[in-house]
Amino acid sequence: MSASRHSGYGHMFRRRWWIALLTVLVALLASAVVTARQARVYRASTSLVVTPSYRVDATGDILRSLETLERRSVIATFARIPPTRAARAAAAARLGRPPSDLSGYRVDGSVLPSTNIIKIDVEGPDGNLAAELANALAAVTTQESRSLYRIFTLKVLVEAVPPSRPAHPDARRNAVVAAICGLLLGVAAVVISDRLRGVSPPGA
In the prediction, which pLDDT does 1 show? 45
Q: What angle do CA 133, 136, 140 make, to 5 degrees?
A: 130
Buried residues in 55-85 as b, exposed as e (16+ CB within 10 A):
ebeeeeeeeebeebbeeeebbeebbebbbbe
What residues does each domain of the chain span?
2-38+169-196, 42-158
Could you tell me which of 39, 129, 134, 127 has the C-alpha nearest to residue 83? 134
> Which residue did the predictor score with more confidence, 61 or 102?
102
Q: How far apart are CA 25 and CA 182, in angstroms?
A: 8
Q: Are strands 106-111 and 42-52 parallel, antiparallel or unpaired?
A: unpaired
- Give the global pTM: 0.69
CA distance linking residue 155 with residue 175, whole number of Å? 40
Question: Tens digit of pLDDT for each residue in 45-63?
Answer: 999 998 877 655 554 555 4
Of the two residues 52 and 156, the one the predictor is more confident about is 156
Mean local confidence (pLDDT), 36-53: 88
Does residue 106 register a pLDDT over 90?
yes
Q: Confidence class of residue 204 from pLDDT cuts 50, 70 and 90?
A: very low
The predicted pLDDT at position 8 comes to 61
Q: CA 36, 159, 166: angle at the middle one, nearest 5?
A: 5
Residue 16 has pLDDT above 80, yes or no: no
The residue that leads in pLDDT, 98 or 146, is: 98
First vs last C-alpha separation in the chain: 8
Cross-sheet strand order for the sheet of 42-52: 106-111, 117-124, 42-52, 152-158
- Class of CATH domain 42-158: alpha beta
pLDDT band at 7 (very low <50, low <70, confident <90, very high): low
- pLDDT over 60 at 168, yes or no: yes
Tell me, what amino acid is at 93? A
In 3D, which of 48, 59, 54 has the Cα closest to residue 110? 48
From residue 53, give the alpha-carbon distance in Å to each of 117, 142, 145.
15, 12, 11
